[in-house]
Every structure is written in C-alpha cells, then in structure tokens.
Structure 1
Amino acid sequence: MSLDNPSLGKRLGWRLEALAYDCVTFILRLFPFACISWLGGKIVGLIGPMTSKHRIAKRGLQIAFPDKSPAEIKALLKAQWNNTGRTLAEFPMMHRVKPYEGNRVTIEGLEIFKTNAPAIIVTGHFANWEVMATVLTQSGLPVRITYRKINNPYIDARVRRQREAYGTKFLVQKSTHKGGRELLEALKNGESVALLNDQKFNTGLAIPFFGQDAMTAQGATRLALKTGRPLLPMAVTRQDANFTVRFYEPINLMNSGDRDADVLNGVKQVTQFIENRIQEAPAQWFWVHRRWPKNLYK
C-alpha cells in the first residue's frame, strides 16, 4: 500500500503517532527551555544505546576516527546521544528561541550573510540545526529552507506549523523537480535558500568523507554555478542549551567551462567544510544517519 493511498490501519497508526506527539509536546511546554533540553539529553542518553541506531552511530564514529581508542569512541557515543536527545526535546520549543534577543544564541559573521544575500546557504546536521533556521528566518532577509517531508502527514503538518511559529514560512520539499524550480525562482526574486548538504544522496557524487567515499548531493553547488550567487557555509555548535551560529566566507567555486569538473570541485569543498566542523565538535553531528555505503556498517 503506497503512502498516497494508505490503508485504514496505516491511517490509524499515523493518528496514534500524532496523538503521542501532541501529548509529549504539551508536557514539554510546561517547562523552561533549558530544563527541557537537559531532560531530553538525559532520557535519550539512557534509551539511545539500547536502540539499533547505536550501532550505526558507533560504526560511523569508528569510520571517521579510526585512531580513537574504544574508550574515546564510547565517550563520543555518550555525548552524541546527549546532543541528539537535547535536539529532539528542544524542537517543539523552538518558537521560544529568539536569536536576536537575549543571550541564548550568539551569532558570528552575520555581516557575511547580509553582504552576500541572496545566497545559497549550505550546512549540516550540527548540534540543533533548527537554531540556524531561526537565525536565518528572523534576520529580516527573505530565506527559503528545504526540508524532507515526514511520512506521517499529521506529524508533518504539525512540524510545518511549529517551524512557521518561529518564522520559517518558505519551506521547499527536498529532492523534487518542483522544489528545484522554487529555489531558482526564489534566488531570482532576491531570496536566499538554505540546504542541508551532509546526508547520503544515492544519486549524488562519490566524494571522500573522512577518507571514505560517500554519495553526496550536488544540488547546492549546481544552483550556485547556474545562478552565480554565493555558496555560503554556515554551522552551529552548542554549549548545553546555548548556541553559537557562525557564517563563513563563501566557497570559492571554479568556473572553468567544464561544468562537471566545477561541480565536483564545489561538492568536494562543501564536504570538506562539513568534515572540518565535525572534527571541531565530533559529538554534535547526527551520527545515527548511515552516511557511508552499507558495506562499511557490517
């Protein structure tokens, strides 16, 4: 049964999942943001190691850091579950995050974004990546942010509303022809676009990532070369429930006339940026994603 024509049982399951999501969200909203973040880290820190995702995270860390000892890998695993738990718990509360007010979010290099807009912003699943969305959408400059639709349509609708509550109104579904056209139109209209460029993309390019080839999306680089707009890297790190968001200087793309070679060069630079940020804060990346080919996880 396809997702476009779900069975009665599938629809019922979706509604039960949405009800559970609503209940958890309601409870979380009774507490301060920092408390919710701490609690999420503790709960997922206990549950995460008992799930199948633990092996994926462990193997990913071993691939990326082959010289680290078992004790160091164990410590990173514990810390990344804490980060993952904090991020999951913080998400329903992101409407409380006001990056341009108070001291929860420190922004570095904002002038780089403002002087290069409209830009193609590339980043990854660092710390709580939704914090970067709040910085972009509350900057006063128009930005469209790509997203991957959640299979459960009821939860997907809730997530979209939550993102809109903190300013993200221009969402574009990833990996669709319609989404690609929307991004082009946005740039033509003076809007920046933001893409996460660090997950496995089966029809992408095989790019070295921590010394092992990983299939990597090329859309952001192609978009920058096609439009001539800057390819602007961005990242976030956390310190407990506080964050530092940083904009980096645009990636220097080649324009040799050989489009395939230029795209390859750009995707390699984006991938190196992602790798560098992970090396700076290894526990704050989304390790539960199977980034490399399946045979490396055996």
Structure 2
Amino acid sequence: MTKNSDDRATPSVKQRLSVWGETAVGVVLIGVLELIRLLPYRWRIPFGGWFFARVFAPLAGYRKRIENNLRLTGIDLPSEDIARLVRAVPDNMGRAVLEMFSPRELHKVALQTPFSGPGVDAVEQARAKGQPVIFVSGHFGNYDVIRTGFAARGFPLGGLYRRMNNRVFNERYVAAISTAGSPLFERGRRGMTQMIKHLKDGGSLALLIDQHMGAGAPLSFFGQTAYTAVSAAQMALKYDALVIPCYAIRQADGMSFKVELEAPIAHTTAEDMTQALNDSLERRVRENMGQWLWMHRRWKGAKQPK
C-alpha cells in the first residue's frame, strides 16, 4: 500500500505524544516556579538555594560531579570543606536561578549593588568615545547582576543565550532574561550575525567564557586543559573593543552583591587574551570556591584521578 502525500504530512502518534509530553513538562516546571514566586523575595531566594542543595543536587548526581572536578584539579581540601562545597555550590545555583526568574526584584538589587574596580573608569572612557566593550565573566556568583545593573544604569549590554531544550520552558526563560536586559542573541549562526552587527555599531556585550567548547582552544584552567572559545578576544581584536573581566560576587547575607570590574585585557593574540580571562576567573573562584558552578563538565575528556 502506498502512502499519499497527506499521510506523510500527518504527524505520527509518537510525534504527537512527544509534543504533548514536552508541553506537560514545561507547564509543570513553570508551575513550580510560579508557586515559589508566591513567596516574598527575601524567603524565595534562600528557599531556592535550599531546594537545589538539599533536593535537586543529590537527585541529579551533582554532588559526586563536584567532588570529581575538585579531585581532577588537584585541589586538596579537608573532608569537611568538601562537604561544605557540595552544599554551597548548588545553593548558589538555586539562588541564581530564582533571582533570574525574579527580574523585577533583581533589577532593584542590581541598582543597589556597588560597581568598583579599575575597569569602571575604563568603561566610562569607552562610552564617552563610542568604543564597544565586551564584558566577560563565568558561571560565578550571579552574572545576571552585571547585565541587569548596567541596563538599570542606562548602559544596556547585549547577551548571548542558548535555547532551552524544552520549547515551553524556553519561552518563559527568554521572557525572564529579556526583562533583565536586551538585546539578546540566540546561540547559532543567525544570533552570531546579529551580535557582530551590534558590536560593529558600537554596542557592548556580556559573555560567559567557562563552558566546554569542543572547537575551542586547548587552554589551561585550574592546571587542566579546558577547551575554551576565543571568540570574545577575536571580536575585540577585529572591532577594537575593550575586554573587561567582571564578577558579581555574592555577599555573606546570600542576597546582596558587589560587582568588580578588572582592568581591560591587553590586546595581543586571541589565545593569550583568552588565557588571561581563564586565569582571572580562576583567581576569583579560588577566593570564593562555593560560588562557581563546579558541576559543569568543564574538562570534558579528562581522566579522573583514581
């Protein structure tokens, strides 16, 4: 029996079930977020940290991955410090997620956050002459405070994001990060074209550098080979943009931040500039070990020590 064109165009039962399942998961995730958002902000953020540290991280296997990454980098810590980190890292992650989905409250926090460091004057000078700036950070503290803080001060930064796998949840995610600041560029060829045009027109960007990039340069991070995207440095060299390492450091109360802008990275080669960015982030992580996302697969392919 031959199928006609209409039969081929009709989604299969399996495809329809897949779409329904994806929708159901997205609705559940959004529903959980909205329930948590009923809590006052001062309770919502600590609850997010508690939930990720005590419930989500153990179920997802994140505790073991944190321990493995610490061993991989040769960081020798007493067992009680490791126990503290396997709680602190997902706690910071949970707080950051709830802060991201609380953009109006985060806007107020960002306005009250002090911005300091040698990069502050460099940014003001660049703004005065219309020179683009590429702000580079990592999954540390809460990097959204930087973009939100600059936007709240009348200096919007373009941001690159990766589409979430779940279509329904992705819509909620994009809406949240758009409220924090715009323009946004989706990772991919079209988004990269838009981002480059934004930079060429004198706009500024906020980028993260600490994800494994298989096509990146084999640079060093915590003494191990970490494949790192050099695109931020390449764009800076091509379009005469400043490259400024920047960090939003969570304070002891768990709710407030300070943002530090380091001196611009000297224009040399893309690899050397990117290594300087890796070194800068490593220094910051060593000062605040619980604020970096140690469950990242940052060193893919590296053999774990026995």
Partners in 1 of 2:34 and 2:59 — Cα distance?
26
Partners in 2 of 1:184 and 1:45 — Cα distance?
38
Q: Which residue of 2 aligns with 1:221?
A: 233
- Give the counterpart letter for 1:115 in structure 2: Q
| Structure of larger gyration radius | 2
Q: Which residue of 1 aligns with 2:52?
A: 44
Distance 1:211 1:242, change over 3 A: same
Of 5, 18, 21, which residue of structure 1 is paired with 2:29? 21
8 Å CA contact 2:110–2:149 kept in 1: the answer is no
Secondary structure at the aligned position of 2:114 is classed as strand
Q: Which residue of 1 aligns with 2:166?
A: 152
Q: Which residue of 1 aligns with 2:9?
A: none
8 Å CA contact 2:236–2:243 kept in 1: the answer is yes
Q: CA RMSD in A?
A: 2.1
Partners in 1 of 2:221 and 2:111 — Cα distance?
37
Distance 1:270 1:27, change over 3 A: same
Q: Output aligned runs, 1:129-140, within 5 Å.
A: 129-140=143-154
What stretches of structure 1 move > 6 A for 4+ residues in a row? none
Give the unaligned 5+ runs of structure 1: 255-261
The reply to whether residue 112 of structure 1 matches residue 122 of structure 2 is yes
Q: Which digits, 9 at most, give the CA deviation of each residue in 1:36-90, with x for residues without a partner? A: 1111111222121343222212111223352222332222112112112212222
Q: TM-score, normalization: structure 1? A: 0.88
8 Å CA contact 2:233–2:243 kept in 1: the answer is yes
Partners in 1 of 2:60 and 2:212 — Cα distance?
21
- Give the counterpart letter for 1:287 in structure 2: W
Q: Output aligned runs, 1:19-168, within 5 Å.
A: 19-47=27-55, 48-99=57-108, 103=112, 105-109=113-117, 110-117=120-127, 118-166=132-180, 168=181
Q: CA deviation at 1:102?
A: 6.3
Partners in 1 of 2:69 and 2:116 — Cα distance?
30
Q: Matched residues, percent identical?
A: 26
Q: CA deviation at 1:101?
A: 7.2
Q: CA deviation at 1:230?
A: 0.8
Secondary structure at the aligned position of 2:182 is classed as coil
Secondary structure at the aligned position of 1:122 is classed as strand
- Give the counterpart letter for 1:90 in structure 2: E
Q: Which residue of 2 aligns with 1:294?
A: 301
Partners in 2 of 1:238 and 1:280 — Cα distance?
12
Q: Which residue of 2 aligns with 1:258?
A: none
Partners in 1 of 2:184 and 2:111 — Cα distance?
27
Moved more, 62-71 or 94-103: 94-103
8 Å CA contact 2:141–2:291 kept in 1: the answer is yes
Q: Which digits, 9 at most, give the CA deviation of each residue in 1:260-289, with x for residues without a partner? A: xx1111111111111111111110011111
Q: TM-score, normalization: structure 2? A: 0.86
Distance 1:94 1:18, change over 3 A: same
8 Å CA contact 1:95–1:162 kept in 2: the answer is no
Aligned length: 284
Give the unaligned 5+ runs of structure 2: 1-11
